[in-house]
């Protein structure tokens, strides 16, 4: 399995991958388009005009380091007096005339004594942190979050329709897109992630496309996935992500 990119060797993402932060960005961007949601733009002042930029362009440069990353680099401090004292690092003196193996063992013991860890629920967070407990559920179901994102984006697209037709249009568009992408990935043997297509969502969308009457259970299941997308956008709007959704 390909290792996920988590930093540049000096700065690291607490979630150890980019995807949770991309989803945060995308849900916030959709919240900006939703007239029913009010965004705390003051909270996001350092995100600049995120609503006008694609994610890769917005993420590049120093932005990801300044907003989300933690400093985990090992380096020589030329001016110790200007070192930032916090709970994310310890500063030690390493003698140059001692056995390097013994020094390495001493450093390992010091790190253990000071609670060094890679557990996601205990690692330090950047200026903008994912909500507490994100590693227990959200991080394990990113495919579902992408499904919520796609459904919500399509639902926003049809804002001029009444409630029923708006939902049906979003469902039909999603199924056509997901089926086409899934078939392409399988036929070409691409290494991309296949889109998540829950059975109830598939059944509801196919009934809509075929102009048949969907079952209430399938419709309710579809609405739950859509509602989660709305909830994630509302959470992002007030500065909490993913939060409870």
| pLDDT tens readout for residues 109-156 | 755 665 555 554 555 677 899 999 999 999 999 999 999 999 999 999
In a domain, 244, yes or no: no
- The pLDDT-based confidence of 71 (bands split at 50, 70, 90) is confident
Residues 137 and 232: their CA atoms lie apart, in Å, by 14
pLDDT of res. 6:
86
The pLDDT of residue 1 is above 50? no
Kindly state whether residue 218 falls inside one of the protein's structural domains: yes
85 in any annotated domain: no
Q: How many domains does the chain have?
A: 1
- Residue-averaged pLDDT of the chain: 88
Does residue 46 carry a pLDDT above 50? yes
Q: What value does the mean pLDDT take over residues 21-44?
A: 98
Q: Determine contact, residues 220/201, Cβ cutoff 8 Å.
A: no
Domain that holds residue 167: 11-67+129-237
pLDDT on residue 101:
76
> Which residue, among 66, 32, 65, has the nearest Cα to 50 in the 3D structure?
32
pLDDT value for 78: 61
Residue 118 lies in a domain: no
Which pTM value belongs to this model?
Answer: 0.82
How does residue 65 score in pLDDT terms, banded at 50, 70 and 90? very high
First vs last C-alpha separation in the chain? 30
117 belongs to a structural domain: no
Render pLDDT for 167-200 as a digit per residue (tens, 0 to 9): 999 999 999 999 999 999 999 999 999 999 999 9
Q: Does residue 19 fall inside a structural domain?
A: yes
The answer to whether residue 174 sits within a structural domain is yes
3-state DSSP of the chain: CCCCCCECCCEECCCCCCHHHHHHHHHHHHHHHCCCCCCCCCCCHHHCCHHHCCHHHHHCCCHHHHHCCEECCCCCCCCHHHCCCCCCCCCCCCCCCCCHHHHHHHHHHHHHHCCCCCCCCCCCCCCCCCCCCCCCCHHHCHHHHHHHHHHHHHHHHCCCCCHHHHHHHHHHHHHHHHHHHHHHHHHHCCCCCCCCCCHHHHHHHHHHHCCCCCCHHHHHHHHHHHHHHHHHHHHHHCCCCCCCC
| 29 — pLDDT class (breaks 50, 70, 90) | very high
Residue predicted with more confidence, 56 or 103: 56
Closest CA to 4 of 233, 145, 193: 193
Whether residue 75 has pLDDT greater than 70? no
If you average pLDDT over residues 230-240, what whole number do you get? 98
pLDDT in the model for residue 178: 98
145: in domain: yes
């Amino acid at each position: 399995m390909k290792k996920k990119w988590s930093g540049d060797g000096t700065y690291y993402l607490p979630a150890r991958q980019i995807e949770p932060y991309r989803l945060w960005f995308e849900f916030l961007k959709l919240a900006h388009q939703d007239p029913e949601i009010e965004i705390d733009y003051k909270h996001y002042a350092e995100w600049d005009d995120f609503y006008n930029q694609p994610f890769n362009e917005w993420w590049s440069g120093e932005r990801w380091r300044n907003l989300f990353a933690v400093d985990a680099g090992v380096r020589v401090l030329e001016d110790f007096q200007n070192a930032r004292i916090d709970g994310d690092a310890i500063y030690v003196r390493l003698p140059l005339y001692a056995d390097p193996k013994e020094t390495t063992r001493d450093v390992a013991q010091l790190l253990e004594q000071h609670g060094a860890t890679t557990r996601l629920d205990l690692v330090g967070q950047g200026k903008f942190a994912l909500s507490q407990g994100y590693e227990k559920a959200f991080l394990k179901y990113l495919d579902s979050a992408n499904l919520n994102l796609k459904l919500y984006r399509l639902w926003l697209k049809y804002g001029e329709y009444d409630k029923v037709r708006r939902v049906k249009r979003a469902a039909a568009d999603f199924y056509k897109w997901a089926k086409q992408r899934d078939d392409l990935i399988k036929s070409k043997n691409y290494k991309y992630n296949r889109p998540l297509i829950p059975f109830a969502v598939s059944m509801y969308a196919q009934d809509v496309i075929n102009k048949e009457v969907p079952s209430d259970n399938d419709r309710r299941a579809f609405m739950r996935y859509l509602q989660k997308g709305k909830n994630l956008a509302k959470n992002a709007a007030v500065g909490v992500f993913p939060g409870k959704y």
